[in-house]
Amino acid sequence: MAFARVNYDIDERLEHIAVQVSLGASKAEVIAEQYQQLLRSFSNLSGIGLTCINRISQHLVNTDVFSSQQLLAFSVSLRAAASANRNRKKKGSNRSMQRNEVVEHCLTKIDWKQLQELGAKPKQTSDPLENIIAARLHKCGLVCPDVDTLKRASGIVQACMINTKANEADKRSICKGVRAKLNKLDGTTPWSFEHISTYPRSPFELPTEVFAHAYGDDRPIAMPDDIDNIMFKLIVAGTKYNTPRKVQPTI
């Protein structure tokens, strides 16, 4: 039975915490270590139902060991395990396109640091930058971005690649590269929460569990000051998604 197996694992870890603390180890450090290991364990669960999830969650609360933030992260991880198989069936045309008008404010400080470091390299391709953006957007539940959202994602890549001037084909390629990477992530790690069609103006307004899933202990930041906002808007406005139609010669 999944409930008994998982609870046995939890109880063993609680006993480990108690023993280590009695030997003089830092209680906070030992709890943090077991918290991370439990998260990894929960991520590997499959075929687990919501009733079982609720019982496990209540058991974690009753231990009175983990913080409210850690309990929330456990809940997110357990719900993801319970929903994975069900949400695989949702991929397809029955999901609406998603709009996010503030993609540039959904990234973390680490995301921006990696983007700018990669973008500063000579002859850098856009592929690794697309991976960083796609990973964060997927964490936020963006799996079916509309064209305008993809243009903003492309604009971030273009703004960070300071040694490369993207042509029209490059701009379209980045849009479609981000979309392809999101499709791949969606296939391997289906979204476990309610599908969001229109994203809020601030990622801090996301549902609590979605925000915890997207950022964990990290936080999103505004676009760095060294990227000019007006320049960024011009880049986005100048990014075309579709190839222009050829003008037929008149006779």
Provide DSSP, the chain.
-HHHHHHHHHHHHHHHHHHHHHTT--HHHHHHHHHHHHHHHHHT--S--HHHHHHHHHHHHHHT-S-HHHHHHHHHHHHHHHHHHHHHTT-STTSPPBB-TTGGGS-BHHHHHHHHHHHTSTT--SHHHHHHHHHHHHHTT-SSB-HHHHHHHHHHHHHH-TT----HHHHHHHHHHHHHHHHHHHHHS---SPPPSB--SSGGGS-HHHHHHHHTT--B-PPPTTS-HHHHHHHHHT--SSPPPPPPPP-
Buried b (16+ CB within 10 A) or exposed e, 14-53: beebeebeeeeeeeeebbebbbeebbebbeebeebeeebb
Structure tokens at 109: 């400080």
Q: Are residues 66 and 150 in the same domain?
A: no
Q: Which pLDDT score is estimated for 16?
A: 94
Last residue of one domain, picked from the residues 88, 121, 145: 88
Using CB atoms within 10 A of its CB, is residue 78 exposed (0-12), middle (13-18) or buried (19+)? buried
Q: Are residues 76 and 122 in the same domain?
A: no
Q: Are residues 219 and 129 in the same domain?
A: yes
Q: Are residues 118 and 179 in the same domain?
A: yes
Amino acid at 120: A
Q: Which pLDDT score is estimated for 88?
A: 43
Q: Are residues 217 and 109 in the same domain?
A: yes
Last residue of one domain, picked from the residues 59, 88, 117: 88
**Domain that includes residue 189, residue range:** 103-237
Q: Is residue 247 part of a domain?
A: no
Q: Are residues 108 and 167 in the same domain?
A: yes
Q: How far apart are the first and last CA of the chain?
A: 77
Q: Is residue 250 part of a domain?
A: no
Q: Which pLDDT score is estimated for 89?
A: 41
Residue 154: Cβ within 10 Å count: 30
Q: Are residues 123 and 7 in the same domain?
A: no
Q: Is residue 162 part of a domain?
A: yes
Residues, the chain: 251
Q: Is residue 242 part of a domain?
A: no
Residue 158 half-sphere exposure toward CB, CA atoms < 13 A: 27
Q: Are residues 137 and 229 in the same domain?
A: yes
- Split into its structural domains, the chain has a count of 2
Residue with tokens 């929460």: 193
Q: Are residues 107 and 214 in the same domain?
A: yes
Q: Are residues 109 and 39 in the same domain?
A: no
Q: Are residues 34 and 122 in the same domain?
A: no
The tens-digit pLDDT sequence of the chain (251 residues) is 577 888 888 999 999 999 999 999 999 999 999 998 888 888 777 667 777 888 888 889 998 999 988 888 888 778 776 665 444 444 444 678 999 999 999 999 999 999 999 999 998 999 999 999 999 999 999 999 999 999 999 999 999 999 888 899 999 999 999 999 999 998 888 787 788 999 999 999 998 888 888 898 899 999 999 999 999 999 999 999 887 666 555 55
Q: Is residue 11 part of a domain?
A: yes
Q: How far apart are CA 248 and CA 18, in angstroms?
A: 78
Q: Which pLDDT score is estimated for 125?
A: 94
Task: Report the greatest alpha carbon distance in the chain.
Answer: 91
Q: Is residue 244 part of a domain?
A: no
Q: Is residue 94 part of a domain?
A: no
pTM of the entire predicted model: 0.66
Q: Is residue 66 part of a domain?
A: yes
Q: Are residues 82 and 113 in the same domain?
A: no
Structure tokens at 198: 């229109």
